[in-house]
Amino acid sequence: MAERPWRVLLRDFFGVGRATPPAGAYTVDRHRVFVLPTAQGYAFGATAGAVLIGAINYANSLAYLVAFLLAGLGLVSALHAHRNLLGLTLRPARVEPVFAGGEALFRVCLEAPGPRPAVTVAWRRADAGTARARWHEVDAPLPGAGSVCVELPVPAPRRGRLALGRLRVGTRYPLGLVRAWSPLELDTGCLVYPRPAGALPLPAPASPDPAPASGARGPAEQDFAGLRDYVHGDSSRRIHWKAAARGRDLPVKLFAGEAGQEVALRFPEAGAGGPEERLSQLARWVLEAERAGVRYALELPGTSLAAGHGEGHAERCLAALALYGARPGTP
Amino acid sequence: MNAPPRVSTPQVLWLVGAIAMVVLPHAGRVPLWATALFLALALWRLAELAGRATPPGRAVRLALALAVAVGVYASYGQVFGRNPGVALLVAFSGLKLVETHSRRDAFVGVLLGYFLVVTNLLYTQSIPTGLYLTAALTLLTATLAALALPPGTAWPVRRQLGLAGSLLLQASPVAVALFVLFPRLPGPLWALPSDAHSARSGLDDTMSPGLISRLGLSDEVAFRVRFSGAQPSRDELYWRGPVLWTTDGRSWSAGEGGQESPPQVLAEGPTTGYQMTLEPHGRRWLYALDAPVEPPPGTQVRGDLQLLAAAPVRQRMRYEATSATRYRLPALGERQRRLALELPPGAHPDAVALARGWLAGGADPEARVTRALLLFREQPFVYSLNPPLLLGDPVDEFLFGSRKGFCEHYAGAFTVLMRAAGVPARVVTGYQGGEVNPLDGYLVVRQRDAHAWAEVWLEERGWVRVDPTGAVSPARVERGLDAALPEAVAPFAGLLLDEDSGVYRLLHGIRHGWDAANNWWNQWVLGYEQRRQRELLGRVGIDPSDWRRLGTALALLTGVPLLVVSLLLHLRRGRRLDPARRAYDRFCRALARRGVARAPAEAPLAFARRASRSLPAEAGTIESVTGAYVAVRYAPSGGDLERLRLLVRTFAAASRWPRGQSRGTRAGGTRFD
């Protein structure tokens, strides 16, 4: 970034040599900055007007000057606010997937070639208990050249891909009298897994274990193999209440046959409810299998994932569940 | 968004400081209790900051507000008008401080502060006031800026003030453009409160012993004069004010003497044109050089040549007139003659007896005048600012006892003598002399130049000015009060200085400079009203009533400075880069020369990956430079800036020459880089 004055002027006023921002990042340029007075700015203007009327009435020259100085201050602060946004780059950071019903935490990083005090990022989110989305604002000050990242929590009620939606990067710097802002949309999304739910037990392991027919015996009849910690979605029937009473926090019973074996998690077998309920059941199974240390395969209509185990496998399975039925092409 | 954010400690300190600064000059103008209340409330707010007090409850604040209103009413008998209004504002700004807990409150406090700045201007608009209030505006603006910072941040005082100062500086060209071009409307929009203008010092319309000498120590400017032609000699500079006809034996007043139609002035010599800038003195009369031939438009000329304005002079006023210093006033009406000979029965027996003696001696009127002047010259009369108090008959005691007096003693006694001697006479008050400021050429007449003299009627010559003070102290008329009474040299803190000493000349020079600055300020800033605006705009070819041209000029004059500010802001943008960023940018430029340009928004690590793919030979360097840069910029420990710079310097030097050139050249190149 060669900051030679003439080049700055050419770039910012005539668009010479301005590159389009790469996908996913957004750099504020002067064509996309809006400036309007704030409520405080209007009050300030009214004060300047009152001073002007007083000046006319008393024919007081210096009062005229004060009124005009206040007016000038308003205009100049608009220029400063405008300039405070220019060159600011916003880039989305990685977003951790969440389960439906939770809260997606979007992260956006701001970078500027110089100090940009008092910058805010506004985004839309629905408040708890309301359906309508409202603008929220978070401070992202850049006191010196450098970068800062802000977190924008957005409720994720449904599985699928949650878009961050429209953002506004804005500033009230330097006097709070005018607000400059630039609307933008970043190419970022958060994967929302189905909410783990459902009461069905993990399906019995498939082939390698020849003995009893799968699904015929409930977990209660299997051999007790040990305890593990509670995972969201575990059935309350499997909690070892006695051990819990002894002080361990919510231990869950683990049965022989669940470890070191392979289960197939199939869409049709995940209960009798609608597709969403089945996906929830599958999600719970994935978590359960993962915790139980069982290798598991996932079979959805149109998609199937070979048996596997580990964090990466779980993420792939949950992603498949999250995007089930979504238009192809999205990751 | 939700609850308004609370104010931080630095923000409260800014606000209290700024408000205190604008309230301070009012301390002497509002009742003591209002100042005390403000101070107490400000201290309360500070104590609350320190955790030593709790904020007053709603009931307490309401009670205080009511008490303030009652107090103002008790002090002034009303709550409207300038002084009660200011007292209310002062007390309420204290109340605003103790109730300021949210940023919104603090913002309202700042607006109140801006308003208080203007209330100060209703009392004085002098240069020091202007400077003080500029500082106050800076503090208020800094407070506003502090309120706009994100919660939890506070800037150092100097940075905050620097921002406010630079904002005001950038706003000032716009303000000046608006000041020059904004159409000035004459007169108030609605009736001004009766106390809009306070009492001023200056001459009165009565004269008694001690009233003029009271002004002798005042350095205040009475008026300034610019002559359009040559300036008359100093002993002709008699500035006519109230003419006094009637005496009760002690004091003189205007009486009914001037109620005739204006006399015809026959100039006997060149007339003098001049422009007066009269300081407000709260009276209707205007001052003019001796005998006005062409009075300023809109004024009334009385029978004794005194000028009257349509209304009391409450604001600095400019007017032009032409006067004669050598002239004849041929007519004297019968009523005027009777008034000009009248003396209170039984007063001043000794003086009357003396003058009757001259009359009985058969001397003609002119000789009687000379006799009286000889009396002042030959007897041991002393010209003094501090004459003894005269308890008995003031004229007799002065003429035959104390023989010490200021100009009003001489003028009064002389006029009594003339009337007793049968010569019609009257007292004229006004100013005599003045001092030319070499810096701007204006003649400055101060209160200390206040003077009283007499006019006598001589059949062949009409009204003739006689200055009895000149008989006692010629220096007063020829060289001014400072020369006549060295102890009256007030401006230099009563120091008795030789007129030729270097210190005196230095102080005099400073005074001239200061006075010229004040005059410029008065003429072009404070006195910039409709007429002056018309005159100035006319000079550059803009008719103020042609709103289209005025609008164009306004747009140009405000737009251009804003454009300049905008450009400056733009150019400054690049200069604030931190050293790590500069080094990294240089690295990117070097890579760009090798064909890999970084997109403006490309993250350093992503760029490094892409660049390494394009330039596999440099992958190691790219990685180490990017790593060093990321460490300097983002690592909590800070990273090694010097190492980054060294790496970049080496890489940039190596990239300047294409591969294959001799090592020697490349090594030499680094030295210049």
Search chain B and give the residue with CA nearest A27: B601
Q: What is the structure's pLDDT at B139?
A: 96
Q: Measure the CA–CA gap between B81 and B193, rounded to whole angstroms.
A: 5
The one-letter code for the residue type at A177 is L
Separation between Cα atoms, residue B225 and residue B509, nearest integer Å: 19
| E strand intervals along B137-262 | 206-207, 221-227, 238-244, 246-247, 252-253
Using CA atoms, how far apart are residues B38 and B67, in angstroms rounded to an integer? 13
pLDDT at B642: 80
Residue ranges and CATH numbers for the domains of chain A are: 89-191 (2.60.40), 219-322 (no CATH)
Whether A218 shows a pLDDT value over 50: the answer reads no
Which chain B residues contact residue A57 at CB under 8 A? 188-190, 192
Distance CA B89, CA B374 (A): 62
Distance, CA of B629 to CA of B648 (rounded, Å): 10
Q: Tens of pLDDT along B47-90?
A: 999 888 888 889 999 999 999 999 999 988 887 888 899 999 99
- Would you state the pLDDT for residue B512? 81
> What's the confidence (pLDDT) of residue A9?
67
B107 interaction partners in chain A (CB closer than 8 Å): 40, 43, 176
Give the pair of three-digit tokens for residue B283. 């009276």
Q: How far apart are CA A87 and CA B601, in angstroms?
A: 9
Burial track B250-263 (b if 16+ CB lie within 10 A, e otherwise): ebbbbeebbeeebb
Question: Which residues make Cβ contacts (< 8 Å) with residue B524, sequence separation at least 6?
Answer: B532
Locate the chain A residue with the closest alpha carbon to B168: A73
Examine the pLDDT at A18 and tell me if it is beyond 70.
no
Enter the ipTM: 0.73
List, run by run, the mean pLDDT of 10-residue segments along chain B (673 residues).
74 95 93 94 93 89 93 86 90 93 93 94 90 96 92 86 94 92 74 54 75 73 89 88 88 78 80 89 88 87 86 85 84 83 88 88 85 88 79 86 86 92 91 86 87 89 87 75 59 54 78 83 81 82 77 85 83 61 83 81 83 86 86 69 83 67 38 36
pLDDT tens-digit map of B547-598: 788 888 888 888 888 888 888 877 765 555 567 777 888 888 888 888 888 8
Q: In the structure encoding, which two tokens stand for residue B523, read together?
A: 């003429």
Q: Tell if the CB–CB gap between A3 and B111 is shorter than 8 Å.
A: no
Question: Over 50: is that where the pLDDT of A31 sits?
Answer: yes
- Cβ atoms of A141 and A112 closer than 8 Å: no
**In the structure encoding, which two tokens stand for residue A179, read together?**
């607000």
What percent of chain A is predicted at pLDDT more than 90? 18
Is the predicted pLDDT of residue A207 greater than 60, yes or no? no
* Closest CA relative to residue B271, chosen from B285, B296, B289, B298: B289
| 3-state helix/strand/coil string of A2-58 | CCCHHHHHHHHHHCCCCCCCCCCCEECCHHHCEEEECHHHHHHHHHHHHHHHHHHHH
The two structure tokens encoding residue A244: 């819990």
Under the banding of pLDDT at 50, 70 and 90, the label for residue A263 is: confident
For chain A, the residue count is 331
Sign (positive or negative) of CA dihedral B521, B526, B530, B533 = positive
- A316 pLDDT above the threshold of 80: yes
Q: How far is CA B66 from the centre of its chain?
A: 36
The pLDDT of residue B493: 46
pLDDT of A183 higher than 70? yes
- What was the pLDDT predicted at B499? 62
pLDDT, residue B577, reads 55
How many whole angstroms separate alpha carbon B458 and alpha carbon B29?
52
| Cα–Cα nearest to A27, from A91, A115, A92 | A91
Q: Report chain B's C-alpha Rg in angstroms.
A: 37
Residues 6+ apart with CB under 8 A from B322: B271, B272, B273, B274, B292, B293, B294
Single-letter amino acid, residue B101: H
Contact yes or no for A143 and B153 at CB 8 A:
yes
Angle at A21 between CA A16 and CA A25, to 5 degrees: 150
**Within 13 Å and on the Cβ side, how many CA atoms surround A276?**
7
pLDDT of residue B416: 92
> Which residues of B are tagged catalytic?
407, 451, 467
Average pLDDT over residues A308-320: 87
pLDDT on residue B572: 63
Contact A65 B175 (CB under 8 A): yes
CB-nearest partner of B577 from A4, A113, A137: A113
Partners of residue B196 in chain A, C-beta under 8 Å: 58
Region of A87 (left: φ > 0; alpha: ψ -120 to 50; beta: rest) is left
Report chain B residues whose CB lies below 8 A from the CB of A33. none
For residues A140 and A110, the answer to whether their CB atoms sit within 8 Å is yes
The set of residues, in sequence order, having a beta carbon less than 8 Å from that of B247 and lying 6+ positions away, is B253, B343, B344, B412, B415, B416
Q: Say if residue A19's pLDDT is above 70.
A: no
